[in-house]
A and B are shown apart, each in its own frame.
Chain A
Amino acid sequence: MNCAECRDNLVACAEGLLDHETSLACQAHLEACAGCRAEYEAIARLQQQLVARGHAAAQVAMVTPVMQRVLQAREEPEGESIMSKILKHRWGFGLSAAASAAAIILIAFLTMPKTQATAAEVMARGAQAVAKLTSIHLRGQLRTYPQDNFSYINADCPFYTIELWKQFEPELKWRIEKPQRVVVMDGQSTVMLIKTDDTGVKVPQRTTSAFDTEWLHRIANLSNTISNELDNARAKGWDLSTRSERGADSQMKSIVTVMARSGVPDNDYTKNTFMENADTRRVYRFDAQSGLLEAVQVYLVRPSGEVKIFDLSQIDYNQPIDPGVWKLDLPADVNWAQLPETVPVLPDNERYASLTAEQAARAFFEACSREDWNEVGKFMSPVNPRLKEYLGGLKVISLGKSFTSKTYPGQFVPYEIQLPPQEFNVRVSNANSAKRYVVIGMYDSKLKLEQDLKWTGAPEVLTNNDAYARLSPKEAVQAYFDAQAKFDWVEMRKFASAFDLEETKKQVEMAEKAGVDVHKQMPLVEVGEATWSPEQSAWFVKCRMSQTKKWNLAVRKDNPAGRWQVDGGI
C-alpha cells in the first residue's frame, strides 16, 4: 500500500471498516511511514475529542421543553395590552367584524380550494350578520367536571350546562358559568369563584377573556371564530367542508365542518383534556338566509371513535340581559388565590427557585405533612381550610420522576401519599316499609350535608329481610362499606339507593379510565359509634376514612419569582 492509498483508507481504518487484508496492509504502511502515522494520529485525536463531546451530551433531551416554551410564546399576543383589546371591542367591534369578513373572503378565494372558499364565504356572511351585535347569550352542554376549568373536557363525564352572557354596548361585560365555577367581568374587574371550596381569583382589570374561557368567547365573537378557523385550516392543513340542508324550521341551513387537529401527540398526558389540546370535529350551523350562527357541535375525535363533547343550541342575539348577571355573589369567607403574576419574590427566593420539580413536590408534601401552612403557602395559593383538612398530616409514600406535556408549561410529578384520616358521618334511617337501616346521606365531621343520597322508591323487602332488619345503624354502615370495599354492587344495593350506587359506579369507572388502580386506592373506612339526632330524626354513624392517593402533581414556575407553584393534580 502506498501513501495515497493509505490516506484514502485512514478513516475507514480508524473506524474498523476495512476488511482484514486491507486493514493489515494499512497498519503495515502506518508502521513504516512517519508522515501517514502523524496524519492517522491527528485524526484519532480529533475523533477522541468528538467522542468526548458527544458523550457529555448523550443524555440531553430538550425538544419537549423547548417546544412547550415556543408554543407558549406563540400564543402570547404580540404587543397588545388588555386595554387596547377592550378598546377595540368597545369602539370598533362592528367595523372590525365587517372589515375582516371582507378581507377573509378575498384571501379565501385567492388561496383556498373551492369547498374551503365556500365554507369561508358562509362563515364570513355569519360575521357580517353579527357585525351590529350589542349582546349575545350562549347556552350549551359540555362534557366536563362541574368545578373544573372552563375548557376542561372529558368524554366520560356527563353533560353540564355552560353559559355565556356578553354585552358589547354601552360597555363590555361578560359572565361565564358552569355549575361549580363562574367568572364575571363587570366592566371594572374580572372575578372567578370556584364554588366547591369558595376559592376566589381576582384580576383587577377589565378583560375581554380571562382564565381559560377563550374558546367560548371565540364562538361568541363570530368574526374571530371565522378568522381563527380559516387561519388554522390554512396553516395546519385542516379540512373545511360545507353543505346545505333543510332545517327543522324548513329554512335552508349552511353547515360548515372543521376537522381540527391539535398537533399534540397521542401519548401526551394532557391530550384531549382541554379544548385546545383536543382533536375535534366542529360543526357550525348557519341560517342560510340571515347568515346567523344557530348551533355548534364539537366532537372529540379519538382512535376509538367520536364522542360529542359540546352542544350549543341556544344562541340569543341582541336580547336584553338582566343587570343581575353582572353581579357575582361571593361567600363571606372567600379564599382569595394569588394570581401567577403576583407570586412574590421571597427573601430566600433562590433556595426555592433552584429546586427541581420533584424537590418542590417533596417540599410541598412534607410541609403539608408537618402542617406548616406558612411553608405550604410558598408553593400554593390559597391555603384554605378544606386543603388543610384534606392534606394536613399526610405521609409521603413515594415520588416519581417528573414528566412534561407538550402543551403544559410546567411539569407533572407522580406521587403516592397516605392521606390523613378524614372524619365524616353517615346518616341512616329505618323509617321505611322494609324496616332496614339504609344510607340516606353523607355529612362532614361537623354534620354539614355533603351529599344527599336520594331514594326514589322505598327500600324493597328482601327475601331474607329479617337478617338485615336486625342490624344496628353501626352494623348496617359497616356492611355497606365492606360491600363497597369488595365492589359488591348487589350487597351495596341493600343499603344504598340506586342513585348512590350509580354515582359510586360512575366514579369507579372514571377513576379506572383515568388510570387509577381503584382496588388499591379504595379508601379504608373505620366505622365508629352511632348517635341519634332528635332534630333530624335519624341516626348519624361517625366514620373515619383513610386512603392512599397515587396521582400526578402539576407544578409550574413561569411566575416572576421563578418558584414552583402547585397548579393541580391534588
Chain B
Amino acid sequence: MDLTDKEYVEHCRDGHPEDFGLLVERYQKPLFAYLASRVGDGGRAEEAAQESFVRAFLSLKKLRKPESFYSWLLGIAGRVAKEQFRSAAQRQRDREAAETMMSHTTASGEQYPLEEAIATLPESHRQVILLRYYERLSCQEVATRLDMPLGTVTKTLSRAYALLRQELAAREGAEPTVNQTQQL
C-alpha cells in the first residue's frame, strides 16, 4: 500500500532521502503537465520540473504542513517557471523566441489551473485522479493498486470530479495564480 505524502516527507526528513524518489514518481507527471502549459515547451518544462523537485527536496525541512506537499511543490514550480521565463527572456538575442513563449503562456493559460485544482483535493481523491489520468491506469487497476473495491474508486472519482468542477468554476475568469500555501 502506498504511503501518504506526509509519511514520505517525514521519512525523507528522518534520514531516508531515497523516499523522495517516491514523491517524484507520484507527482512528476502532473507537475510536468502543469509546467508544460505554463512554459509551452516540453524540454523547458522538464527542466523546470526537475529543478522544482530538487529545490523542494533541499527545502523539505521548511515545509510546515507535510500533507500539503503537492500544493507546496506547485508553488515552487510556479516560481521556477517565472525565473526560467525571465532568464530565458534576458538571454534570448532574438525576441521571437520570447514572443513565442509569451503566446504559448497566454494561449494555454486557461489550462494550468487544472493541476492547481487537483492540489486542492483531499489526498485520497487526488491519488485516484493521478493514477487514473496521469498514470493512465484503468479503474480496475486503480482499485488493485490502492487495495479498494472498484465501487469505491468510481465513487471517489465522482466526488473528485464534483470538487474539481467546483474549484475550476470558482477560478473561472480569474488570473491564473499559483496556490502558495507556503513560501520557501
Contact = CB atoms under 8 A, between A and B. Distances in A.
Interface of A: 8, 10-12, 15, 17, 42-43, 46-47, 49-51, 53-58, 60-63, 65-67, 69-71, 73-74, 234-236, 263, 350
Given A11-B157, A70-B17, A53 B134 contact: yes
Contacts of B136: 54-55, 58
B173 interface: no
Contacts of B29: 54, 57-58, 60
B123 interface: no
Contacts of A74: 17
Nearest to B135: A54
Nearest to A59: B42
A454 to B, nearest CB: 50
Contact of B50 (A46, A55, A65, A235): A65
Contacts of B36: 56-57
Contacts of B154: 11-12, 15, 17
B24 A62 contact: yes
A50 to B, nearest CB: 4
B47 to A, nearest CB: 10
21 contacts: A10-B158, A17-B139, A47-B161, A49-B114, A50-B114, A50-B133, A53-B114, A53-B134, A54-B29, A56-B33, A56-B36, A57-B28, A58-B29, A62-B28, A62-B50, A63-B24, A66-B24, A67-B20, A70-B53, A235-B15, A350-B91
Interface string B38-78: 00000000100110011001100000000000000000000
Contacts of B50: 62, 65-66, 69
Contacts of B28: 57, 60-63, 66
Contacts of A350: 91
Nearest to A350: B91
A244 to B, nearest CB: 30
Interface string B17-30: 11011001100111
B115 interface: yes
Given A53-B114, A62-B49, A236-B15, A11 B161 contact: yes
B165 interface: yes
A55 B50 CA distance: 19
A61 B50 CA distance: 10
Given A54-B135, A63-B24, A234-B15, 9 more contacts: A12-B154, A50-B114, A54-B136, A57-B33, A62-B49, A66-B21, A71-B17, A235-B15, A350-B91
The majority secondary structure among interface residues of chain B is helix
B32 interface: yes
B179 interface: no
A498 B19 CA distance: 53
A73 B32 contact: no
B54 A66 contact: yes
Q: Which 10 A-B pairs have the closest CB atoms?
A: A235-B15, A57-B29, A50-B133, A54-B133, A11-B158, A57-B33, A53-B33, A60-B32, A66-B53, A57-B32
A56 B32 CA distance: 9
Contacts, number: 102
Chain B CB count within 10 A is highest, among A49, A63, A74, for A63
A58 B135 CA distance: 8
Contacts of B33: 53-54, 56-57
B26 to A, nearest CB: 10
A70 to B, nearest CB: 5
B111 interface: yes
A63 B60 CA distance: 17
Contact of B57 (A46, A73, A236, A263): A73
Contacts of A10: 158
Contact of B58 (A17, A67, A73): A73
Contacts of B155: 11
Chain A CB count within 10 A is highest, among B58, B133, B139, for B133
B13 to A, nearest CB: 11
Contacts of A67: 18, 20-21, 24
A53 B57 CA distance: 25
B15 A62 contact: no
B81 interface: no
B119 interface: no
Contacts of A70: 17, 20, 53-54, 57
B133 A62 contact: no
B164 interface: yes
B159 to A, nearest CB: 9
B148 interface: no
Nearest to A72: B54
B46 A62 contact: yes
B80 interface: no
B102 to A, nearest CB: 20
A318 B140 CA distance: 69
Contacts of A57: 28-30, 32-33, 36, 134
Contact of A51 (B30, B133, B135): B133
A350 B129 CA distance: 39
Nearest to A69: B54
Contacts of B25: 63
B167 to A, nearest CB: 11
A54 to B, nearest CB: 4
Nearest to B20: A70
B17 to A, nearest CB: 6
Contacts of B54: 66, 69-70, 73
B184 interface: no
Contacts of A46: 161, 164-165, 168
Contacts of A71: 17
A74 B134 CA distance: 30
Contacts of B158: 8, 10-11
Interface in B103-135: 111, 114-115, 129, 132-135
